Amino acid sequence: MSDRRSVRRALIMAGVGGVAAAGLLGPGAATAQAAESCPDVEVVFARGTAEPAGLGRVGQAFVDDLQNALSGRTVSAYAVNYPASYDFLQSAPLGADDASGRIQAIAATCPSTSIVVGGYSQGAAAVDLITADPNAAFGFGRPMPPAVADHVSAVAVFGNPSAKIGRPLTTISPLYGAKTIDLCNGADPVCSNGDDRPAHSQYVQAGFTQQAATFVAGRVNAPAPAEVMVNASATVG
């Protein structure tokens, strides 16, 4: 219970700190492209508290930076459709369900597409719920099926409230931790014990979306384990 209260308090601080800037498909209802029109990469991103519907300022900057880093590849983006409201106990699980539905639909319909999952602030909490939810935070308890992890190339979260309680996604997710970049801007009180509230609104200016894009591009461009094994066996002898 104390962890849940800490996460909720961090999210509240995100809203009070002026997180501003900058549709409802039910779980599993997202419509993926036909196989012939599947993108090389799809980014599924959940915006932060009180941001207008869409990718949000951090999400849009991240997608733009990733498109530049992956020039020559088609990169599409899906904005997680959820309220991103101050009613965190209701809002974050709705975001988690919508993101999970979209990711699973893409994995099933476009198996060769590299999926990138991202979130900012409350959106990062929604990502936590579907990639690592050992304590069923907010009563959620519906992480994505393990097989989906094979389709997710990378995860990028910004201002993640779980980091504030010493449980960053990089360490609490057996399936996604190694492919995750979990970024906290200095003394951002949402993801650290600091008290620099403006820092929570400065992830773009501080260069964190570019840092995340570089990490994710490296993951997307890395050869799959099967390719490594094939190439290794081809050089034997």
21 CB-contact burial (10 Å; exposed 0-12 / middle 13-18 / buried 19+):
middle
The residue annotated as part of the active site, out of 91, 153, 188, 192, is 188
7: nearest Cα among 143, 127, 144: 127
Choose between 176 and 133: higher pLDDT: 176
The answer to whether residue 146 scores a pLDDT higher than 90 is yes
Domains belonging to the chain, first-starting first, are 2-235 (3.40.50.1820)
The answer to whether residue 235 scores a pLDDT higher than 80 is no
The residue annotated as part of the active site, out of 121, 153, 173, 192, is 121
Choose between 50 and 17: higher pLDDT: 50
Tokens representing 209 are: 């979306």
Question: What is residue 138's predicted lDDT score, i.e. its pLDDT?
Answer: 57
Question: What is residue 28's predicted lDDT score, i.e. its pLDDT?
Answer: 40
pLDDT digits (tens, 9 = 90+) for 66-79: 999 999 999 999 99
pLDDT band for position 168 (cuts 50, 70, 90): confident
Please answer whether residues 124 and 161 qualify as being in contact, where contact means their C-beta atoms are separated by less than 8 angstroms.
yes
Question: What is residue 225's predicted lDDT score, i.e. its pLDDT?
Answer: 54
Question: What is residue 224's predicted lDDT score, i.e. its pLDDT?
Answer: 62
Identify whether 200 is a catalytic site residue: yes
Compute the average pLDDT of residues 18-40: 50
pLDDT band for position 173 (cuts 50, 70, 90): confident
The percent of residues in the chain predicted with pLDDT above 90, rounded, is 66
Question: What is residue 141's predicted lDDT score, i.e. its pLDDT?
Answer: 81
Please tell me the distance from the alpha carbon of residue 50 to that of residue 14, in angstroms, as a whole number: 9
The whole-model pTM stands at 0.81
pLDDT digits (tens, 9 = 90+) for 186-233: 999 999 999 999 999 999 999 999 999 999 999 999 876 544 334 433
Question: What is residue 103's predicted lDDT score, i.e. its pLDDT?
Answer: 98
Identify whether 151 is a catalytic site residue: no
Please tell me the distance from the alpha carbon of residue 212 to that of residue 209, in angstroms, as a whole number: 5
Question: What is residue 5's predicted lDDT score, i.e. its pLDDT?
Answer: 56
The residue annotated as part of the active site, out of 100, 114, 151, 200, is 200
Rg of the chain (C-alpha set): 17
Question: What is residue 135's predicted lDDT score, i.e. its pLDDT?
Answer: 59
